[in-house]
């Protein structure tokens, strides 16, 4: 009988490379003698070839570091780092997670993505069993319902990176006592205790207990986060006086290098004083996403972070051309200014930068909504991915909107 064509064999390999669901089908085919004529021939009638394919699969699985949930209707992005680096395995059905022993299937798994699962398909007991058995697991994206189950996470003693939807004060206290390096949470109390070992912290939404009810906002009064390098924080101001309290956390991060601020307020009212912001000479990258933040408030921030090299103020209605010379005067080390989407910035601001550049190292300047910044800064990453291999705010976060920032960045 003739051998299967190389083209068909290659197609099978491509299927094996990227989907745990297909590996599940592939292995089941060998066990159950599938009626598929090509796979039946490859796996059943030629035992040597069957063993060869199994060795190929096992070799591939040894290199898998990330197991990622993917919607069945979503195509893989060929430009994503996961597609290029061939270290990510995707799955669409949670059934395969409970079917396989992950510690045996992917022995070098570093991050497990359990986002978007229904408790009916994957129980907490299943999750606990998987986490307990995997000694290589260092990161977890946990979205099995809104509430985190402690006994699940406690079953992963080597966990360093965690992404969860909601962080309660009790959970925050627990995690402040373990050596987490990275925490990504969509919602938490700003007065929570955070681990001093953190190097990246993402807070999608803050709340506090006020007037016998939960509200957004809050004030941080915990330990200094001396190791924190990257902070991404979204705070909605609801106080009657519109006072922004986010700097209560920022001020306790003395070695912060990259800061992403998303600020908004009820009826677009919020304010803070110069005394609210502490001086920090370590901040190099700053992104401000706030449509209604006044220039006088932005100036107060920039004056306290004088060594900024890369600055983005996007989609802002309140800044104008005359702000650009002030930015350059305040920030002598500035190399990149991104004001795209700021509707009152015109060609006059760009002309100022060009005419005053001369022999001085004036910054590159962008204000139009085009792809010029991507052509000139080719290392900036635009593709949305929950897991990023690498630990660079400038490369993987600077160009993105707050809602498209990665869940976890793998620094190993």
**What phi-psi label fits residue 236: left (phi over 0), alpha (psi between -120 and 50 degrees) or beta?**
beta
Can you tell me the distance from the alpha carbon of 397 to that of 393, in angstroms, rounded to the nearest whole number? 5
Confidence of residue 199 (pLDDT cuts 50, 70, 90): very high
Per-residue pLDDT band for 14 (boundaries 50, 70, 90) equals: very low
Give pLDDT tens digits for 232-280. 998 877 666 667 878 888 999 999 999 999 987 655 677 788 888 999 9
% of residues, the chain, pLDDT over 70: 69
The answer for residues whose C-beta is within 8 angstroms of residue 380's C-beta and 6 or more apart is: 373, 374, 394, 395, 398, 399
Which residues neighbour 126 within 8 Å (Cβ) at sequence distance 6 or greater? 97, 98
Task: Give the per-residue pLDDT at 409.
Answer: 94
The helix-helix angle for 20-32 and 47-62 (nearest 10°) equals 160
> 40 pLDDT band (50/70/90 cuts)?
very low
Q: What is the pLDDT of residues 338-368, one digit of tens each?
A: 999 999 999 999 999 888 765 566 789 999 8
Residues pairing with 285 in the sheet: 258, 310
pTM to 2 decimals? 0.84
More confident residue, 130 or 83: 130
């Amino acid at each position: 009988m003739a051998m299967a064509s190389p083209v068909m064999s290659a197609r099978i390999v491509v299927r094996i490379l990227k989907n745990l669901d297909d590996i599940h089908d592939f292995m089941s085919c060998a066990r159950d003698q599938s009626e598929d004529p090509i796979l039946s021939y490859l796996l059943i009638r030629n035992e040597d070839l069957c063993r060869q394919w199994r060795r190929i699969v096992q070799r591939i699985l040894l290199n898998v570091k990330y197991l990622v949930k993917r919607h069945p209707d979503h195509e893989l992005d060929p430009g994503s780092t996961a597609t290029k680096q061939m270290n990510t395995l995707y799955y669409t059905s949670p059934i395969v997670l409970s079917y396989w022993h992950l510690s045996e299937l992917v022995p070098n798994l570093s991050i497990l993505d359990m986002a978007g699962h229904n408790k009916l398909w994957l129980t907490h007991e299943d999750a606990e069993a998987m986490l307990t058995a995997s000694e290589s697991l260092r990161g977890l994206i946990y979205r099995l319902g809104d509430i985190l189950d402690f006994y699940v996470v406690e079953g992963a003693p080597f966990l360093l990176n965690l992404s969860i939807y909601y962080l309660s004060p009790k959970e925050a206290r627990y995690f402040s006592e373990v050596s987490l390096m990275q925490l990504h949470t969509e919602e938490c109390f700003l007065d929570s205790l955070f681990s001093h070992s953190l190097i990246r912290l993402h807070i999608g939404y803050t709340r506090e207990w006020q007037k016998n009810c939960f509200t957004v906002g809050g004030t941080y009064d915990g330990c200094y986060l001396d190791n924190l390098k990257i902070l991404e924080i979204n705070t909605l101001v609801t106080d009657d006086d519109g006072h922004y309290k986010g700097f209560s956390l920022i001020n306790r991060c003395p070695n912060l290098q990259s800061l992403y601020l998303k600020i908004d307020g009820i009826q677009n009212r919020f304010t803070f004083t110069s005394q609210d912001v502490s001086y920090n000479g370590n901040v190099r990258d700053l992104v401000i996403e706030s449509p209604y933040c006044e220039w006088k408030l932005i100036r107060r921030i920039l004056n306290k972070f004088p060594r900024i090299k890369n600055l983005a103020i996007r989609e802002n209605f309140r800044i104008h051309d005359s702000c650009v010379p002030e930015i350059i005067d305040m920030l002598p080390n500035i190399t990149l200014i991104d004001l795209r989407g700021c509707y009152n910035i015109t060609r006059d601001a760009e002309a100022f930068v060009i005419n005053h550049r001369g022999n001085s190292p004036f910054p590159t300047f962008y204000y139009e909504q085009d792809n010029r910044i991507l052509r000139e800064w080719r290392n900036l990453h635009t593709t949305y991915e929950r897991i990023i291999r690498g630990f660079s705010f400038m490369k993987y976060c600077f160009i993105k909107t707050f809602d498209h920032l990665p869940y976890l960045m793998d620094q190993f």
